[in-house]
Amino acid sequence: MASLRELSQKEVLFTGGHRLCAGCPAPIVVKQALLAAPRAPIIVQPTCCLEISSAVFPYTAWKTPYYHNAFENAAAVASGIEAAVKALKKRGKLDAGKDYYIICIGGDGGTYDIGFQALSGMLERGHRVLYICYDNGAYMNTGIQRSGATPYGAWTTTSHVGEAQKGKQQHRKDLAWIAAAHGAYVANASLHNWRDFMRKVEKALNYEGSSFINIQAPCPRGWRFPENMTVEIARLGTETCFYPLFEVEDRGQKWVINYTPKNKLPITEYLKPQGRFAHFFQKDNEYLIEEFQAEVDRRWEHLQRLAKMSAE
Tell the burial category of 265 from Cβ atoms under 10 Å away from its Cβ (0-12, 13-18, 19+): middle
8 Å CB contact between 225 and 142: no
Task: Answer yes or no whether residue 116 interacts with another protein by CB under 8 A.
Answer: no
Binding piece for another protein, criterion CB under 8 A, among 53-61, 155-163, 207-215, 222-230: 53-61
8 Å CB contact between 256 and 185: no
Task: Answer yes or no whether residue 209 interacts with another protein by CB under 8 A.
Answer: no
Nearest distance in Å: CB 125, another protein: 7
8 Å CB contact between 221 and 21: yes
Binding-site member from 81, 178, 256, 278 for another protein (CB under 8 A) = 81
Beta carbon nearer to another protein, 134 or 242: 134
Binding-site member from 2, 21, 94, 231 for another protein (CB under 8 A) = 94
Task: Answer yes or no whether residue 22 interacts with another protein by CB under 8 A.
Answer: no
Nearest distance in Å: CB 83, another protein: 4
> C-alpha dihedral over 64, 72, 30, 174, to 10 degrees?
-150
Say whether 44 sits in a helix, a strand or coil: strand
Binding-site member from 55, 178, 181, 229 for another protein (CB under 8 A) = 55
Task: Answer yes or no whether residue 35 interacts with another protein by CB under 8 A.
Answer: no
Task: Answer yes or no whether residue 66 interacts with another protein by CB under 8 A.
Answer: yes
Compute the distance between CA of residue 11 and CA of residue 278 in angstroms, rounded to an integer: 41
Binding-site member from 20, 31, 60, 148 for another protein (CB under 8 A) = 60
Binding-site member from 1, 83, 294, 309 for another protein (CB under 8 A) = 83
8 Å CB contact between 235 and 190: yes
Beta carbon nearer to another protein, 69 or 310: 69
8 Å CB contact between 107 and 144: no
Beta carbon nearer to another protein, 126 or 273: 126
Compute the distance between CA of residue 18 and CA of residue 27 in angstroms, rounded to an integer: 9
Task: Answer yes or no whether residue 76 interacts with another protein by CB under 8 A.
Answer: yes
Nearest distance in Å: CB 300, another protein: 33
| Cα–Cα nearest to 184, from 242, 108, 237, 133 | 133
Beta carbon nearer to another protein, 44 or 205: 44
Task: Answer yes or no whether residue 250 interacts with another protein by CB under 8 A.
Answer: no
Whether omega for the bond prior to residue 41 falls within 30 degrees of 0, making it cis, is no
Task: Answer yes or no whether residue 128 interacts with another protein by CB under 8 A.
Answer: no
Task: Answer yes or no whether residue 15 interacts with another protein by CB under 8 A.
Answer: no
What's the start-to-end Cα distance of the chain, in Å? 28
Torsion sign over Cα 2, 5, 9, 14: positive
Task: Answer yes or no whether residue 73 interacts with another protein by CB under 8 A.
Answer: yes
Binding piece for another protein, criterion CB under 8 A, among 112-120, 131-139, 208-216, 225-233: 112-120
Residue type, 191: L
State phi, psi for 261 to the nearest 5 degrees. -60, 140
Task: Answer yes or no whether residue 88 interacts with another protein by CB under 8 A.
Answer: yes
- Contact residues for another protein (CB under 8 A)? 39-42, 44, 51-52, 55-58, 60, 62-70, 72-73, 75-88, 90-91, 93-94, 100, 117-118, 120-121, 124-125
